[in-house]
């Protein structure tokens, strides 16, 4: 799909805009509609769009899997540790009042941190979901079959070899069961 | 820091999960899980003591928002009793998990396994601790979703774990969704989600049709989650094909937590009277319970796979808990709590012992344990004592459960049911005898693989066995605690 | 409110709920089961969201004017929305786990039809009883 000039140009404009909008939703969340869940999904959609247009391998290159796992865990920990911080400051768990000089600023800081944690986790989980499902050998095989049918270039040969072995195994199972 | 214990109880395993997922290297994730479940057990023991001394519920306001505005964690006599069961078994299962997981799960997945393991424990502890109806749902899903993943991890050894996990997911989600529908109807009626507040406000609208519908949805959802007959079909394959460590953890705790939530919702929110429907609801639960007791026991007698056998017997044992609930009395509820506690210990012992064999032999069937009683006597004795406790032989904890169960039934003049309970317990002898016959009376076949045992194999199971015998002989404190737990729901404000 | 037309949202929810639930129970294809489950969950989201609606109520955002005048503006109830935001996230997670399991089932069994699967599992179990050992062990 990356050969199509229209898609290439539009994506160059769209992807940063989507990311920026996600950040707006994220940081607007403490005073108005918005928040980490929505922002995370929007942010992830930029990565998904990128991978859909430029292929899975380049998509993975932009956001590698080990970094993604780190981001998923870091988001949850950021949320949890914000609560723990208020424990150490002498208040109940997740009581943001003590995080700032006044209760109001404390609530502001707390919500900002917690929502950032939520956004980070949601975005990276969504990206992880997309890559895990799309990068599954059976799926890659189906996709390459479809593309070969249309006369397009098949994806990376490494995945192809793997998927062949896998399908063979599946076929064997199938015939074995029907006997 | 003492006043923060209720939240730390849930928080430690919850935050441990992402840390475990990131840890690399041999046994690091396991070490973290052991440390955190150990800490959770310690905290729940301290909480039990604190609650006992205080004599009233300990309440923790999350985020400093008091009830009914915010979510509160409530440690009352009931949750203080169930928390040590869950965290204690989690701790012992984690000790055993190291060997079992090494044998059954790909080394690359260990970190993620322990992450899901800690999450499911955190979810169960959260369900017991929280005093908010919707929060229960969230924790229910946290524990269930990670449980689906854990069950599916058995696929490396036995691919049937995958369809089993899928069916568990479908039925589990339907159950949880029913629960949310019920909570939604209650929220429409009362405008609150705090359980205590809900109970007070529900009294005004108790006889509306919406409140009955809400009760029906909540009860049905939780029946599914606790695998009450006839909604138990997900349980047997899920326990049988899951990795052994997961079978042990889930068989001992997962359904018990749902029983606890059911008691909390039915008696704590709707009250004992149910606006005149108590008899009908009691009769329904009693019927399902006794049918389940027979169905589970009979199916267990026919099974040849030990994991499936004891999974079927779990259905029977959950039937006994349902009978305790259905008796709708103080003694009945106390019996349900006693049996919840004891059954968790017995099933923990059984599945840990079976897991120790499964890690070596693959599948544990009647055939593969032939003559094992002489080859691995300590492990097989653990299975034997667990089996005897399931029947309810004196000096084991199972006996105490049955005594109080029958007492509760006789108090209400349910003579027939008491007799049936006795018969179904006696029937359990049949499957225990099958194991004795296979393990001790038969010779080990020549070509059978040699089984070994070292203290690492049997110590976790024997910890549970000692607890089973201990609570069978010195049952006094447990009975007192169970009556205190029952008093939270009956006799108090309803 | 007592009229049937005033409760149209409940009828919509019930219809969706039953469509979804029927698909979960009656369909043999695992993907269709998941679709049914998602519809079933969505109906519950709608039940909650419709209960948060207050007649003539506006979006529950506190504006400066409200605080200054102490005026009593009628707001929609935001709590059900928050609850459902959580439930949606749970739903997404459930769907993801469900489809992941379906893919794994397809990879190891070559089918996602319940009937075929049950036959294959039963065959495996019979084999096991004959040999007395798990085939993969």
DSSP code string of B278-290: HHHHHHHHHHHHH
> Does residue C96 belong to the interface with chain A, where contact is any CB pair within 8 Å?
yes
pLDDT band at C71 (very low <50, low <70, confident <90, very high): low
C-alpha distances (whole Å) from B393 to each of B206, B397, C109 are: 43, 8, 44
Q: Which of B6, B12, B15 to mutate to test the interface with A (most CBs of A within 10 A)?
A: B15
Is the pLDDT at B365 greater than 90, yes or no? no
Quick one: pLDDT at residue B380?
A: 87
- Whether C12 is in a domain gets the answer yes
C-alpha distances (whole Å) from B407 to each of B154, B319, B480 are: 41, 16, 15
Quick one: pLDDT at residue B361?
A: 77
Report the alpha-carbon distance of residue B187 to residue C53 in Å, rounded.
13
Count of the separate structural domains present in chain A: 2
Report the alpha-carbon distance of residue B280 to residue B274 in Å, rounded.
10
- Whether C27 is in a domain gets the answer yes
Is the pLDDT at A161 greater than 70, yes or no? no
Report the alpha-carbon distance of residue B243 to residue B161 in Å, rounded.
9
Report the alpha-carbon distance of residue A142 to residue B246 in Å, rounded.
34
Which tokens hold the place of C58?
A: 């506006």
- Whether C137 is in a domain gets the answer no
Report the alpha-carbon distance of residue B353 to residue B307 in Å, rounded.
11
pLDDT band at A151 (very low <50, low <70, confident <90, very high): low
Q: What is the mean pLDDT of residues B207-224?
A: 88
Report the alpha-carbon distance of residue B66 to residue A84 in Å, rounded.
19
% pLDDT > 90, chain B = 29
Cβ atoms B87, B125 nearer than 8 A: yes
> Does residue A129 belong to the interface with chain C, where contact is any CB pair within 8 Å?
yes
What kind and span of H or E run contains B19? helix B5-22
Quick one: pLDDT at residue C97?
A: 92
Q: Name the residue in chain C with its Cα closest to that of B139.
A: C90
CB contact under 8 A, C86 and B138: yes
Is the pLDDT at B493 greater than 80, yes or no? no
Report the alpha-carbon distance of residue B172 to residue B234 in Å, rounded.
8
Q: Within the 67-86 window of chain C, which residues sit less than 8 Å (CB to CB) from chain B? A: 80, 83, 86
Radius of gyration (C-alpha) of chain B in whole angstroms: 21
Which tokens hold the place of B256?
A: 């018990």
CB contact under 8 A, C97 and B149: yes
Q: Which domain holds residue C32?
A: 5-54+78-111
> What string of H, E and C letters represents the secondary structure of B298-365?
HHHHHCCEHHHHHHHHHHHHHHHHHHHHHCCCHHHHHHHHHHHHHHHHHHHHHHHHHHHHHHHHCCCE
Helices and strands, number each (H, E), in chain A: 7, 0
Nearest CA-CA distance, residue B11 and chain A, Å: 8
Which range (A35-49, B464-478, C68-82) has the least confidence? Answer: C68-82
Q: What is the mean pLDDT of residues C10-24?
A: 91
Which range (A15-19, A22-26, B281-285) has the least confidence? Answer: B281-285
Contacts of C96 in chain A (CB under 8 A): 129
Which tokens hold the place of A49?
A: 């769009």
Q: What is the CATH number of the domain that holds C97?
A: 1.10.287.3510
Q: Which chains have at least 3 CB atom pairs separated by less than 8 Å from chain A?
A: B, C
Structural domain boundaries in chain B: 276-494
Nearest CA-CA distance, residue B213 and chain C, Å: 13
Is the pLDDT at B273 greater than 50, yes or no? yes
Q: What is the mean pLDDT of residues B415-419?
A: 86
Predicted structure pTM score = 0.89
Is the pLDDT at B465 greater than 80, yes or no? yes
What was the ipTM of the complex prediction? Answer: 0.89
Q: Which of B174, B213, B231, B449 to mutate to test the interface with C (most CBs of C within 10 A)?
A: B174
- Per-residue pLDDT reduced to its tens digit, A54-92: 888 888 888 888 888 899 999 999 998 988 888 888 888
Quick one: pLDDT at residue A77?
A: 92
Count of the separate structural domains present in chain C: 1
CB contact under 8 A, A173 and C108: yes
Is the pLDDT at A25 greater than 60, yes or no? yes
Is the pLDDT at C19 greater than 90, yes or no? yes
Q: Which domain holds residue A140?
A: 135-179
Q: Are residues A121 and A158 in the same domain?
A: no
Rounded to 10 degrees, what is the CA torsion of B420, B425, B427, B433? -170
Report the alpha-carbon distance of residue A156 to residue A158 in Å, rounded.
6
- Mean of pLDDT over chain B: 87
User: Which range has the top average pLDDT, A25-34, B461-470, C57-66?
Assistant: B461-470
pLDDT band at C132 (very low <50, low <70, confident <90, very high): very low
Is the pLDDT at B66 greater than 90, yes or no? no
Residue A46: exposure state from Cβ atoms within 10 A (0-12, 13-18, ≥19): buried
- Whether C121 is in a domain gets the answer no
- Per-residue pLDDT reduced to its tens digit, A103-142: 888 888 888 888 999 999 999 999 999 988 888 876 666 6
CB contact under 8 A, A80 and B61: no
Report the alpha-carbon distance of residue B311 to residue B315 in Å, rounded.
7
Nearest CA-CA distance, residue A93 and chain B, Å: 5
% pLDDT > 70, chain B = 98
Cβ atoms B444, B371 nearer than 8 A: yes
Is the pLDDT at A9 greater than 60, yes or no? yes
Contacts 24+ apart (CB under 8 A), A64-71: A65/A128, A65/A131, A68/A124, A68/A127, A68/A128, A68/A131, A69/A124, A69/A128, A69/B21, A69/B22, A70/B22, A71/A120, A71/A121, A71/A123, A71/A124
Q: Are residues A65 and A150 in the same domain?
A: no
E strands of B51-133, at which residues? Answer: 58-61, 72-75
């Amino acid at each position: 799909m990356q050969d199509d000039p229209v898609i290439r140009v539009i994506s160059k404009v769209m992807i940063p805009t989507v990311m920026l909008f996600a950040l707006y939703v994220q940081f607007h969340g403490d005073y108005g509609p918005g928040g980490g869940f929505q922002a995370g999904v929007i942010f992830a959609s930029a990565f998904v769009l990128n991978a859909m247009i430029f292929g899975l391998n380049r998509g993975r290159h932009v956001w590698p899997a080990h970094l993604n796992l780190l981001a998923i865990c870091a988001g949850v920990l950021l949320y949890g540790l914000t609560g723990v911080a208020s424990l150490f400051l002498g208040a109940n768990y997740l009581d943001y009042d003590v995080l700032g000089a006044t209760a109001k600023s404390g609530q502001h800081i707390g919500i900002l941190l917690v929502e950032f944690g939520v956004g980070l986790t949601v975005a990276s989980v969504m990206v992880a979901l997309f890559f895990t499902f799309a990068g599954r050998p059976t799926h890659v095989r189906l996709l390459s079959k479809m593309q070969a049918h249309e006369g397009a270039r098949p994806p990376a040969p490494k995945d192809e070899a793997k998927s062949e072995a896998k399908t063979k195994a599946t076929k064997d199972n199938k015939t074995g069961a029907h006997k | 820091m003492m006043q923060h214990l209720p939240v730390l109880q849930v928080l430690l395993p919850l935050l441990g999960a992402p840390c475990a997922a990131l840890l690399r290297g041999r046994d690091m994730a396991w070490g973290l899980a052991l440390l955190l479940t150990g800490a959770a057990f310690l905290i729940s023991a301290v909480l039990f003591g604190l609650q006992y001394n205080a004599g009233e519920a300990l309440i923790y306001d999350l985020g400093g928002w008091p009830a009914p505005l915010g979510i509160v964690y409530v440690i009352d006599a009931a949750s203080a009793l169930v928390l040590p069961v869950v965290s204690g078994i989690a701790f012992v299962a984690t000790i055993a998990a190291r060997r079992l997981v090494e044998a059954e799960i790909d080394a690359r997945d260990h970190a993620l396994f322990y992450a899901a393991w800690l999450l499911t424990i955190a979810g169960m502890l959260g369900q017991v601790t929280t005093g908010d109806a919707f929060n229960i749902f969230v924790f229910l899903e946290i524990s269930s979703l990670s449980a689906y993943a854990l069950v599916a991890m058995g696929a490396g050894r036995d691919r049937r774990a995958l369809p089993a996990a899928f069916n568990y997911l479908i039925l589990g989600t339907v159950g949880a969704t029913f629960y949310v529908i019920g909570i939604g109807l209650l929220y429409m009626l009362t405008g609150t989600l705090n359980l205590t507040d809900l109970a007070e406000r529900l009294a005004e609208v108790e006889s509306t049709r919406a409140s009955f519908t809400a009760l029906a949805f909540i009860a049905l959802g939780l029946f599914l989650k606790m695998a009450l007959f006839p909604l138990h079909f997900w349980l047997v394959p899920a326990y049988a094909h899951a990795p052994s460590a997961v079978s042990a953890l889930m068989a001992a705790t997962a359904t018990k937590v749902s029983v606890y939530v059911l008691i909390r919702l039915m008696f704590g929110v709707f009250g004992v009277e149910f606006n005149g429907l108590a008899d009908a609801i009691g009769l329904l639960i009693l019927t399902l319970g006794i049918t389940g007791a027979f169905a589970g026991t009979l199916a267990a007698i026919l099974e040849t796979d030990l994991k499936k056998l004891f999974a079927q017997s779990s259905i029977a044992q959950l039937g006994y808990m349902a009978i305790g609930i259905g008796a709708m009395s103080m003694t009945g509820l106390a019996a349900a709590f006693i049996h919840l506690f004891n059954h968790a210990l017995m099933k923990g012992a059984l599945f840990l012992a079976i897991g120790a064999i499964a890690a070596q032999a693959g599948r544990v069937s009647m055939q593969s344990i032939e003559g094992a009683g002489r080859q691995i006597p300590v492990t097989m004795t653990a299975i034997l004592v667990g089996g005897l406790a399931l029947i309810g032989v004196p000096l084991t904890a199972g006996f105490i459960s049955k005594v109080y169960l029958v007492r509760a039934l006789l108090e209400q003049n349910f003579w027939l049911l008491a007799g049936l309970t006795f018969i179904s317990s006696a029937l359990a002898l049949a499957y225990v005898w099958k194991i004795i016959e296979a393990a001790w009376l038969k010779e080990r076949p020549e070509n059978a693989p040699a089984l070994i045992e070292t203290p690492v194999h049997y110590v976790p199971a024997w910890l549970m066995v000692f607890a089973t015998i201990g609570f069978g002989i010195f049952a006094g404190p447990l009975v007192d605690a169970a009556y205190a737990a029952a008093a939270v729901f009956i006799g108090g404000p309803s | 409110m007592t009229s049937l037309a005033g409760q149209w949202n409940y009828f919509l929810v019930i219809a969706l709920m039953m469509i979804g639930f029927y698909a979960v129970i009656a369909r043999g294809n695992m993907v269709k089961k998941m679709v049914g489950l998602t519809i079933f969950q969505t109906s519950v989201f709608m039940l909650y969201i419709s209960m948060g609606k207050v007649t003539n109520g506006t979006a529950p955002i506190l504006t400066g004017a409200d605080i200054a005048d102490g005026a009593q503006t009628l707001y929609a109830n935001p709590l059900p929305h928050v609850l459902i935001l959580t439930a949606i996230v749970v739903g997404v997670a459930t769907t993801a786990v469900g489809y992941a399991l379906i893919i794994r089932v397809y990879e190891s069994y070559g089918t996602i039809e319940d009937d075929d699967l049950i036959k294959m599992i039963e065959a495996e179990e019979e084999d096991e009883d004959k040999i007395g050992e798990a085939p993969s062990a």
